[in-house]
Amino acid sequence: MASSLKLSSFLARLGIYRVSSEKQETLLKLMVLSTAAILSFSTRLFAVLRFESVIHEFDPYFNYRTTRFLTEEGFYNFHNWFDDRAWYPLGRIIGGTIYPGLMVTSAMFYHVLHFLNITIDIRNVCVFLAPLFSSLTVIVTYHLTKELKDTGAGLVAAAMISIVPGYISRSVAGSYDNEGIAIFCMLLTYYLWIKAVKTGSLFWSTFCALAYFYMVSSWGGYVFLINLIPMHVLALMLTGRFSHRIYVAYSTVYTIGTILSMQISFVGFQPVQSSEHMAAFGVFGLCQIHAFLDYLRSKLSTKQFETLFKLLAIVVGVAALIAGGVLTFMGKISPWTGRFYSLLDPSYAKNNIPIIASVSEHQPTAWSSFYFDLQLLVFLFPVGLYFCFSKLNDQNIFIILYGVTSIYFAGVMVRLMLVLAPVMCVLSGIAVSSVLSLYVRNLEYLDTTKAKKAKKMDPSYPVKGEIAGFVVLMMTFFLVTYTFHCTWVTSEAYSSPSIVLAASQHDGSRIIFDDFREAYYWLRQNTPEDAKVMSWWDYGYQITAMANRTILVDNNTWNNTHISRVGQAMSSPEDKAYEIMRELDVSYVLVIFGGLTGYASDDINKFLWMVRIGGSTEKGSHIKEADYFTPQGEFRVDREGSPVLLNCLMYKLCYYRFGQVYTEQGKPGGYDRVRNTEIGNKDFELNVLEEAYTTEHWIVRIYKVKDLENRGV
Amino acid sequence: SIEHVWWFYIVMEGFWSCVTLVGLLLLGAGCNGVKSGKKTLVLLENLSMKETHSMFFGDMKSRGYQLVFKMADDPNLAISKHGEFLYDNLIVFAPSVEEFGGTVDVSAITDFIDHGGNVLVAASSEVGDVLRDLGIEVGLELDERETFVIDHLNYDVKDRGEHTLLAVDPANLIEAELIVGEKPSAPALYRGLGMIADPDDPLVLEIMIGSTTSYSYFPKERISEYPHTVGKSTLLIAGLQARNNARVVFSGSIDFFSNKFFASSVLKAVPGAKEFDVCSNQQLASALLDWVFKEKGVIHAEEVFHHRIGEEDPPHAYTIMDDIHYAIKIQEMVGGKWVPFTAEDVQLEFFRIDPFVCIYLNKSEDGLYYADFKLPDVYGVFQFKVDYNRIGYTHLFSTTQVSVRPFEHTQYERFISSAYPYYVSSFSMIFGVQIFSLVFLHFRDNTKTKTD
């Protein structure tokens, strides 16, 4: 606060504003906050400026498609939407298997703007929604931190969250994903929860429940939230801080929140059945017991109370155990799901569920990426914790719990870095603000006229003024480097749409690979309306959204056997694959190939996952991962590679006619620029497929599945 | 002036288009003489065959076929011109030809088949390479030159001692009236080479096979190696109906169709055999002709109707457990006209990777096959599939893709009877809370007034 006061008096001295210091402070707060909000919006626009206003990556294409459907067809049709374009021939009930918060939000923006005669395209609403919500997040973070500490900490935290890369990674313009609004919802819920805990009022608790409903409607990560709040309540109980305020707050939030969350059809009865939600339910029960005991204690003598307490504890404990056991046995309480296990034990998914492990954002986080995504915050985090511990109160316990749990989860899964980033900012805001307000006060010692007076007042240690000056300077320096780092990371790492690729040539000029859209538009224009396209599931959402063709599997990996079937087709030799493709009515096969351009995340590099997933079901038990390796255990596509690999469908589709292509000077034909090797099987013909289309840089290759031979053989 | 010139152009153009139209009409009228599907090219080894097989060709002519006779090595030979096929059918009666003339070769003939043309081929023991290659293309392997099918137990009395003039029992014919006609009582005479079917080709039809004692070998040599074909795997006449319904018949014997055989009597050289005045060759050839040139056994699905019972048009998507009506109109070509097809065994599958419903269709008089059934309680993309594949008939395959969606949120039952206790409990709870709060508040007021 001291710093802001000083600054405002500086403004006043400049004569820009001759108003009371209170008003100046408000003005300054507003300025800082709005600057941070605008900054957070504009720093996310790199991708739009460099490429164009496009939707990024994979999942956002699905969200975009559903949003378009919602705006065109209305909510009821959206709610009842059965999509026969995906997961052929199973189909997918979209209305019941998504979190509709994101789509409803965009559709609302769209309709409001159109009501005001601002005819914005729905795509642009989708592209700019995440940056807009990040600005809102900035404001909520300010309020949350203000509730935890003070205005100064709030402003610092707000400024920090506006550019923290861990959050930007999921909220740049075009990255139209649930997380973009979910972080806002989550922080809003936390803010209102703190408010409810502090006031103990029904008003704030109800608002908290409403914010929780919004959160549930927009992201599956709400499970974290519904476990964190009970954990907070439990911690408060254990530390003897349980009070009527907490009782009112939690009881209201839990009951209203649970009933509301059950209105989302994807969530359904999970809040009362699945084990992930049982902690919240248990704590709700504990709250009632605790409150009841408190009431009894006030009415009974100590001895009577103790006897009663023991009796009650035993009866309730045994009853709860039996009920839990019976319900689990009857299957009413769902067993621990795989995704949850992988949170607790990072190696669980890798060993047991290949489909979860195959997603790169489900991998455990590397140490370096903590620094990459959070930089300074990593070091300020413990400092913030220290300041919280030093002045422990109800709300500080909450933020400590949030910090500690989320740092664990972020270590387990890369994508949960997103949950960690806000609390890092909040705690760092507290840290920076506390440190600065501690030392800026000491800066007075530098002022020689005042120094003499001060020395008499506080002789605790020498060169106090100089140390304060040094600390302030260092802090400023760190914050400046933080800004530079964040901007650099945003610009370099998180602003590529990945649907359009860019690379620099030898002479430094930029070359754009627009092969994905080229291929998808080719499919849209040149294939029959009801053609079925087989590709690996990564490209499913994009194909349905951009090519408008039926696909077998997509990024919503709900049916493992179906994906496994596609994996089997890809890893089988041509004739076996043909049987599977006929069974699934496949008319086109699409593969991604990077060998010509050096695009590394192509299907050959993903191929081992296809083999693993293909071999993970009963029908594919003949597919063994080991067959695709050399005897030395290497995955090679050159002459040394395993013959099974060199003759499987995926290999043939990727490298068809590639043997005659010269990719690099001084290298033989068929030189793969991703694997940096000359491919092993060059001269082969396709029997049951024919090449239909290959894009300019060979990144996408499309093949047509031939009919059965007319004369039988 | 310029305007006049324009007028002139327009008038001239009108004139020429009239001329073209009239020309086209005349052309159409000229073509009307030959019914579609009847233009046939006959490739002969030598022109004398026209005489030796005149009964066969006469039969064809009398049925309205327009026959174009050409020498198999005619240098101007062509079956297609500018990408259009000039003929509907092709007969190759040129066993020993080594190479066709003009632009015709094996690939031209297979191309002809792949575009729907029908082919009848007769080989003999002087078989040339080109026919052997053609055989391979339709899933048949012809035995070597100079070999004959030999059967020491089933030969005709006119045989000259090599036992190559076979008297083939009607029992050796395929069980399909559409292909071989009504089962004749007399045996057929056969002299020629044997074939075997490619085991990987599921489309080959074994129209006439050798008996268990037959084999194929050089008649004048001692048997030193295992014969090419033995017993019932020896094919004498084989057929193939391609997936585009083009038909091919391959006979190992050209004599089978000759006047000599047509008119011959037959007596099996076994004691007690019955003599027939006329062998069954002509009858069989006539039936084969009907089949191979699609006079018989041609069916197609004209229309498919499906809708919910009580509605008229198909919905955008069905809902699970809908009661629906499906109908398919199947017609058969009889005498150049489509007439309602009659069969009792047409099945419908409601199919999604596996069939979920599999039922016989009922038949109404006008060739409409229909069924009413309830959709399964499974959503997804399904197909109505009628896959009517019977020997002799063209392959009738009709799929119609429909989506079956789950219930909409308004289609579930509003009140579940088993949940009535819960409804009662929740309403009684609401009521109880109301009473409680009333009493509680009322009670509070009283005490307050008392304490005051």
Nearest CA in chain A to B383: A89
Percent of chain B surpassing pLDDT 90? 55
The Cα–Cα gap between A370 and A373 comes to 5
> Residue B34 pLDDT > 80, yes or no?
no
> Residue A331 pLDDT > 70, yes or no?
no
So what's the pLDDT on residue A577? 93
Mean pLDDT of chain B: 87
> Residue A12 pLDDT > 60, yes or no?
no
Average pLDDT rounded to a whole number, residues A624-644:
89
So what's the pLDDT on residue B450? 47
Chain A residues within an 8 Å CB radius of B243: 707-712
Instruction: For chain A, say whether B139 makes contact (Cβ under 8 Å).
Output: yes
So what's the pLDDT on residue A115? 95
From B200, B380, B382, residue closest to A713, measured CB to CB = B200
The tens digit of pLDDT for each residue in B177-233 reads 889 988 888 999 999 999 999 998 889 999 999 999 999 999 888 888 898 889 899
Give residue B19's pLDDT band: very low, low, confident or very high (50, 70, 90).
Answer: low
Give, in degrees to the nearest 5, the angle at Cα A528 between A523 and A534. 55
94-113 of B, contacting A, C-beta below 8 A: 110, 113
3-state secondary structure A640-704: CCCHHHHCEHHHHHHHCCHHHCCCCCCCCCCEECCCCEECCCCCCCCCCEEEEEECCCCCEEEEE
Average pLDDT rounded to a whole number, residues B234-249:
93
Judge residue B247's burial from the number of C-beta atoms within 10 Å of its C-beta, 0-12 exposed, 13-18 middle, 19 or more buried: buried
> Residue A569 pLDDT > 90, yes or no?
yes
Whether A91 and B244 lie within 8 Å, measured CB to CB? no
Average pLDDT rounded to a whole number, residues B364-382:
91
Give, in degrees to the nearest 5, the angle at Cα A200 between A199 and A206. 105
The tens digit of pLDDT for each residue in A416-430 reads 899 999 999 999 999
C-alpha dihedral sign at B247, B253, B257, B263: negative
Q: How far is A89 from chain B (nearest CA, A)?
A: 5
So what's the pLDDT on residue B31? 44
Least reliable range by pLDDT among A133-137, A343-347, A471-475, A490-494: A343-347
Which of B320, B356, B375, B381 to mutate to probe the A interface, most A CBs <10 Å? B381
So what's the pLDDT on residue B101? 86
Which of A269, A564, A711 to mutate to probe the B interface, most B CBs <10 Å? A711
From A80, A82, A583, residue closest to B403, measured CB to CB = A82
So what's the pLDDT on residue A19? 67
> Residue B29 pLDDT > 60, yes or no?
no
> Residue A411 pLDDT > 70, yes or no?
yes
Question: For A10, what's the count of Cα atoms within 13 Å in the CB-facing half-sphere?
Answer: 7
The tens digit of pLDDT for each residue in B276-286 reads 989 999 999 99
Percent of chain A surpassing pLDDT 90? 54
Residue predicted with more confidence, A328 or B92: B92
Whether B353 and A583 lie within 8 Å, measured CB to CB? yes
So what's the pLDDT on residue A11? 57
Other C-beta atoms within 10 Å of A582: how many? 13
Give residue A159's pLDDT band: very low, low, confident or very high (50, 70, 90).
Answer: very high
Q: If you search the block for the tokens 């009506």, which residue do you land on?
A: B325
Average pLDDT rounded to a whole number, residues A363-379:
88
- Helices marked H in B43-115 — which ranges? 49-52, 54-62, 106-114
Residue predicted with more confidence, B448 or A651: A651
So what's the pLDDT on residue B9? 63
Question: For A364, what's the count of Cα atoms within 13 Å in the CB-facing half-sphere?
Answer: 14
* Cβ pairs A/B, distance under 8 A: 69
> Residue A485 pLDDT > 70, yes or no?
yes
Q: How far is B275 from chain A (nearest CA, A)?
A: 40
Average pLDDT rounded to a whole number, residues B305-328:
92
β-pair partners for A502? A512
The Cα–Cα gap between A646 and A307 comes to 76
So what's the pLDDT on residue B451? 47
The Cα–Cα gap between A698 and A190 comes to 49
Q: If you search the block for the tokens 């001239």, which residue do you land on?
A: B12
Mean pLDDT of chain A: 88
Give residue B16's pLDDT band: very low, low, confident or very high (50, 70, 90).
Answer: low
> Residue A5 pLDDT > 60, yes or no?
no
